[in-house]
């Protein structure tokens, strides 16, 4: 009885397979006509697999939105995104999945800089071009990626020093007075953290009166930024300046400062220098909480599309492209906020 059941199941499975595979003689012949929809249509769309860092900040959300709004079905793209929750190993797995799916392009926003050679070598062997956005990777083999577009993070660090010089001057603080600084760093080992930390350190060396009391990572999130700031405030009673390597950590820092009964911003005791210049940071500047913001532009969708279009047309593209960025002071925020795109 059991054997009979098994045999019947096998026969049924074979019959189902044959009918699915179009082996029955009641099927219309398979058409080679290009007007045929289905697989032909599908093969015409460009399949883009986007490996995103996470959803840790306003900047990141604007970056995701820019990609999603660019690579639409209506424009002929098949777009898939993986949110790696700020984990580099999740990003590596996501790349391997996209290789398996045989996407046309892999777009990678690397969480941290190190450790990409093996998996990008696999993408290269599979013939899939990799476009890197936002942060960069560390590699000795530039053939592992086709192009990169993002920000000059070291320049942003330099700009933060100039911004702080200007703010201190406008607050009437003399160059002889000791300035105690703490830094809320981004995700350690990410280009945005490395560039901003190093750029700031390099240029601040010219100011003998500036003292870096401490640096610690708040992982680019408001929650951790607030936590680290709370511990800084407990350890150091005389903080003059917070360098916060992104806006969301600044929002956390402002909360911690106020909760500790201290003041910040243009009229406050503690100066806050922030990075990104997202919409909510303009609001915080208008509210008088943040002094100055070094811009970082997240709108990479159209830039990546331009690269893909050029590659599709067989044109060569720039290997490295930096985005232009500005610096915004609290006093100008109200007149600029209306023009901001993110």
Can you give the binding site for ligand GYE, defined by CB under 6 A?
56-57, 59-60, 134-135, 151, 192, 220, 246, 275-276, 296
Among the listed residues 257, 294, 254, the one whose alpha carbon sits nearest the alpha carbon of residue 278 = 294
Query: Between the CA of residue 227 and those of 81, 222, 253, 265, 321, what are the distances in Å?
Result: 30, 9, 8, 19, 35
- Rounded Cα distance between 2 and 148, Å, is 62
How buried is residue 325: exposed, middle or buried, by Cβ count under 10 Å (0-12/13-18/19+)? middle
In whole angstroms, the minimum distance from the beta carbon of 50 to ligand GYE comes to 15
- Cβ proximity to ligand GYE: between 187 and 271 the closer is 187
- Cβ proximity to ligand GYE: between 54 and 104 the closer is 54
Helix, strand or coil, per DSSP, at residue 151: coil
In whole angstroms, the minimum distance from the beta carbon of 245 to ligand GYE comes to 7
In whole angstroms, the minimum distance from the beta carbon of 5 to ligand GYE comes to 58
- Cβ proximity to ligand GYE: between 52 and 271 the closer is 52
DSSP notation for 211-272: EEEEEEE-TT-HHHHHHHHHHHHHH-TT--EEEESSHHHHHHHHHHHHHTT--BSTTSSBEE
In whole angstroms, the minimum distance from the beta carbon of 56 to ligand GYE comes to 5
- Rounded Cα distance between 78 and 15, Å, is 34
- Cβ proximity to ligand GYE: between 278 and 311 the closer is 278
Helix, strand or coil, per DSSP, at residue 69: helix
- Cβ proximity to ligand GYE: between 146 and 250 the closer is 250
In whole angstroms, the minimum distance from the beta carbon of 117 to ligand GYE comes to 21
- Cβ proximity to ligand GYE: between 46 and 131 the closer is 131
In whole angstroms, the minimum distance from the beta carbon of 220 to ligand GYE comes to 4
């Amino acid at each position: 009885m059991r054997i009979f059941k098994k045999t019947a199941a096998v026969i049924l499975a074979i019959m189902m397979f044959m009918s699915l595979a179009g082996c029955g003689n009641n099927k219309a012949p398979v058409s080679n006509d290009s007007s045929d929809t289905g697989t032909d249509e599908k093969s015409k769309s460009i399949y883009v697999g986007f490996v995103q860092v996470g959803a840790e900040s306003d900047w990141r959300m604007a970056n995701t939105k820019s990609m999603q709004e660019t690579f639409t079905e209506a424009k002929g793209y098949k777009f898939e995104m993986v949110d790696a929750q700020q984990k580099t190993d999740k990003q590596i797995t996501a790349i391997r999945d996209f290789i398996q799916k045989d996407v046309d392009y892999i777009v990678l926003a690397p969480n941290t800089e190190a450790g990409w050679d093996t998996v990008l070598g696999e993408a290269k062997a599979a013939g899939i071009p990799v476009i890197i956005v936002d942060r960069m990777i560390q590699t000795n083999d530039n053939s592992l990626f086709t192009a990169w577009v993002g920000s000059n993070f070291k320049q942003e660090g330099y700009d933060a020093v100039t911004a702080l010089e200007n703010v201190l001057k406008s607050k009437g603080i003399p160059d002889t007075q000791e300035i105690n600084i703490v830094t809320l760093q981004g995700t350690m080992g990410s280009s945005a953290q490395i560039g901003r930390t190093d750029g700031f350190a390099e240029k601040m060396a010219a100011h003998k009166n500036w003292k870096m009391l401490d640096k610690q990572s708040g992982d680019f999130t408001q929650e951790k930024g607030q936590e680290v700031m709370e511990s800084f405030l407990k350890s150091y009673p005389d903080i003059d300046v917070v360098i916060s390597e992104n806006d969301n950590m600044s929002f956390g820092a402002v909360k911690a400062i106020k909760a500790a009964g201290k003041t910040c911003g243009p009229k406050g005791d503690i100066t806050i220098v922030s990075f990104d210049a997202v919409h909510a940071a303009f609001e915080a500047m208008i509210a008088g909480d943040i002094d100055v913001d070094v811009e970082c532009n997240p709108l990479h969708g159209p830039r990546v599309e331009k690269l893909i279009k050029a590659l599709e047309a067989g044109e060569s593209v720039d290997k490295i492209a930096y985005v232009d960025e500005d610096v915004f002071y609290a006093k100008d925020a109200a007149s600029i906020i209306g023009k901001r795109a993110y």
